[in-house]
Amino acid sequence: MKSYALSAAVAAILAGTFLSCGSSNKEIKIGGVAPLTGEAATFGASSKQGMELAIQEWNDKGGIDSKKIVLAFADDKGDPAEGATVFTKLIQQDKVAAIVGPVMSKVALAGAPICQANQLPMISSTATNPKVTEVGDYVFRACFIDPFQGTVGAKFALETLKAKKAACLFDVGNDYTKGLSEFFRDGFTKGGGEIVAFEGHATGTTDFKAQLTKIIAAKPDVIYVSDYYNDAALIAKQARELGYKGTMGGGDGWDSPKLTEIGGASVEGCWFSNHYAADDTTPVVQDFVKKYKAKYNAEPDALAVLAYDGMNIMLDAVKRAGKTDGPSIQAALKATDFSGVSGHVKFDDHRNPVKSAVIVEVKNGKVVYRATVNP
Amino acid sequence: MGNFKLPRLLLAGLIFFIIVMILSPDMTGALNGYFMVIIERSLIFVILAISLNLINGITGQFSLGHMGFAAVGAYVSGTFTSIWFKLNPHTLSHYPVFMICIVIGGLGAAVVGFLIGFPSLRLKGDYLAIVTLGFGEIIRTILNNIDYVGGPRGLLGIPMFSKFPIIMLFAFLTVVILRNLVQSSHGRAMLSIRENELASELCGVDTVRYKVMGFVIGAFFAGIAGGLLAHLLTLAHPTQYGFLPSALVLIMVYAGGMGSLTGSVLAAFTLTFLTEGLRVGIDALPEFTIASQTYKIGTEWTMVIYAILLILIMLFKTEGIMGMRESRILIIEEKK
């Protein structure tokens, strides 16, 4: 019977910890969800730091209606099942007013129905899958979605680079890169340009010369490579070897120090759309970068920026709502008109942000700010 | 009718069910939704753990790809319910349809279990483990590449039908069926394979049949659990069914005791509650200051403490919580 006694003791201790929670009226609890362990742990760590910085700033300014803001953070491990559990925990156990996060679309898709059912607003920082906000009207996001990035790239190529002919190269086995190229194509032809080549390559290949030869023969002014940074760098190298002199562009998948490490001189002059640029001279960006560096001793990445913005958008809505019940915050969120680090944010009918994207450029082996493109 | 008595297992199941229902948010609300989710997940893990115990603990095979079966169940049942309710959006009572879809998912997993059962006829121990590990990864990769079920984005839009009573019903039936199987002559045949395959074959046990049977039945119930999980989360994603989740179920089987169904049930509950208990417990820890630096133990430490506790369990109770014993509740009563 010893084992029964042991199990009973364990159960009693666990029950004790669960019941020891409560909430007070002097603070506003905001839930934060991101993966601190598992495959996307680095994304989660940046996101958490972004959220914490935002909350610290609000509290330094005296909180909202002199109530202190408290972050109830939960680790989703990058797993949908875990995500559903922590969403329920934050809502039911911690009684948060709203949730910021998570980072990954699959976790957001598991958490969103729970927020919707509880009428509690959530704003995902970086879930780019368009389906996430389609779950219901309590689900928002802080990042732009893939269609928008393709359109922005096309606009930049047409208006700033004055390109008339463009070519696309993408990974056929990846939703993200394929979608991006398709939206670039649509945006470019709609703006009066001509797509002279639209080529896909297999996932995992390292030789792109067949597609590139075909593309270069069509003499494009710009090649849009919607791949991730590792493939993109190789493509740039091989394009230069084949004698291509023009410029190349891509999406936020290029955002990695590895791009210039692998690509070297061949990515020089290439550009890509991103959520923000660290050397953007706008005061709000410089202010954020300075504060982030002072607190965490690291350069903020796009995930930290979007989590920071997401938290600020949410707190701004809570402040304007004046109340902490779900429907009031949701109504305030819908009316968001907020200037964040990643641009000026308003929400469209599908609760996706309408905001500007930043185009960055590789110059002397460094990624620098080039332009801000408005939708 | 004076000497009529409810069987102990049914009584235990009913008591648990009634207590949870009374405490649930629908009635008194003593347990909030968070508790309900933990209980629901525990029950799903009960199904997964005892079905894996049938393969690993009772039949003595070694499967590392148990979540692969769950993935088949999740995707098959998820696809079926999605299609059915797209075609017949006005189905009044959706639970019968839902339960049929779950069982179809289980059958799909059983077919796959039948296929994977064959290598087990030629392979033993570590080699079989590698094959089943590979199988789990194959399932995941296939799901990643089928556009119809969402590919790497996962199967979305599954209706939310997995409520506590349904999960409880399936978990209870799983326990009853597996208990009856294990304590029947079939179960004893399986046990004899675990103890000594050669000897049992000499005694006339059809080892081929019972090994495949172990895999098929284990896979069937894993498929049921997968289906229930998919309808709880409203999505199924390939990464949910990789090696690590399979290892988690395996840990439950070992922590509970190989060959003990009671142990698997207890371990599924204990470990699920332990993870969440640690999460809540660590959250509640206050900040502390050393040399004017403030530190806070974050939730990322949950897994470290969890792992240490597991190591301690295995050090001090090598055979698991229950060893090979069964609780009296799970032993079939003799008729007097």
Give the mean pLDDT of chain B: 88
Most A-contacting residue of B235, B246, B274 (CB-CB within 10 A), to test interface: B235
Residue B142 has pLDDT above 70, yes or no: yes
- % of chain B surpassing 70 pLDDT: 97
Residue numbers in A near B152 (CB within 8 A): 174-175
Mean pLDDT of B162-187: 94
Q: Across the strands, what pairs with B288?
A: B295
In the three-class reduction of DSSP (H, G, I as helix; E, B as strand; rest coil), residue B289 is classed as strand
Query: What is the number of domains present in chain B?
Result: 1
What count of other Cβ atoms lies within 10 Å of the Cβ of residue A194? Answer: 13
For position A20, what pLDDT does the model report?
A: 46
Q: Which CATH number is A27-144+284-355 given?
A: 3.40.50.2300
Q: By CA distance, what is A109's nearest residue in B?
A: B235
Instruction: Give residue B166's pLDDT band: very low, low, confident or very high (50, 70, 90).
Output: very high
B126 phi and psi, to 5 degrees? Answer: -55, -40
For position B167, what pLDDT does the model report?
A: 96
Rounded Cα distance between B168 and B178, Å, is 15
Residue among B82, B55, B75, B223 nearest B140 (CA): B75
Domain chopping of chain A, boundaries = 27-144+284-355, 147-274
Q: Given an 8 Å threshold on Cβ–Cβ distance, is B277 in contact with A18?
A: yes
Residue B1 has pLDDT above 50, yes or no: no
Rounded Cα distance between A91 and B168, Å, is 24
Burial degree of B284 (CB within 10 A; 0-12, 13-18, 19+): exposed
Is residue B159 one of the residues assigned to a domain?
A: yes
Residue numbers in A near B38 (CB within 8 A): 85
Residues in Cβ contact with A93 at an 8 Å cutoff, skipping those fewer than 6 apart: A18, A21, B32, B34, B280
Most B-contacting residue of A1, A6, A18, A139 (CB-CB within 10 A), to test interface: A18
For position A112, what pLDDT does the model report?
A: 94
Task: Give residues 278 to 317 of B whose Cβ lies within 8 Å of A.
Answer: 279-281, 283-284, 298-300, 302-303
List of chain A residues with pLDDT < 70 = 1-24, 375
Residue B278 has pLDDT above 80, yes or no: yes
Rounded Cα distance between B188 and B185, Å, is 5
Superfamily name with CATH number, domain A147-274: Response regulator (3.40.50.2300)
Q: Given an 8 Å threshold on Cβ–Cβ distance, is A11 in contact with B234?
A: no
Q: How do residues B27-55 score in pLDDT, each as one tens digit?
A: 887 888 899 999 999 999 999 999 999 99
Q: Given an 8 Å threshold on Cβ–Cβ distance, is A109 in contact with B234?
A: yes
How is residue A170 written in tokens? Answer: 């993408």
Q: How do residues B186-222 score in pLDDT, each as one tens digit?
A: 999 999 999 999 999 999 999 989 999 999 999 999 9
User: Which range marks the domain in which residue B200 is found?
Assistant: 36-330
For position A8, what pLDDT does the model report?
A: 60
What count of other Cβ atoms lies within 10 Å of the Cβ of residue B8? Answer: 15
Q: Across the strands, what pairs with A33?
A: A74
Task: Please state the three-class secondary structure of chain A as a single string.
Answer: CHHHHHHHHHHHHHHHHHHCCCCCCCEEEEEEEECCCCCCHHHHHHHHHHHHHHHHHHHHCCCECCEEEEEEEEECCCCHHHHHHHHHHHHHHCCCCEEECCCCHHHHHHHHHHHHHHCCCEEECCCCCCHHHHCCCCEEECCCCHHHHHHHHHHHHHHHCCCCEEEEEEECCCHHHHHHHHHHHHHHHHCCCEEEEEEEECCCCCCCHHHHHHHHHCCCCEEEECCCHHHHHHHHHHHHHCCCCCEEEECHHHCCCHHHHHHHHHHCCCEEEECCCCCCCCHHHHHHHHHHHHHHCCCCCHHHHHHHHHHHHHHHHHHHHCCCCHHHHHHHHHCCCEEECCEEEEECCCCCEECCEEEEEEECCEEEEEEEECC
Is residue B4 one of the residues assigned to a domain?
A: no
Instruction: Give residue B285's pLDDT band: very low, low, confident or very high (50, 70, 90).
Output: confident
Instruction: Give residue B252's pLDDT band: very low, low, confident or very high (50, 70, 90).
Output: very high
- CATH of residue B116: 1.10.3470
Is residue B5 one of the residues assigned to a domain?
A: no
Q: Is the dihedral of CA A232, A238, A240, A244 positive or negative?
A: negative
Å from B199 to nearest chain A CA? 34
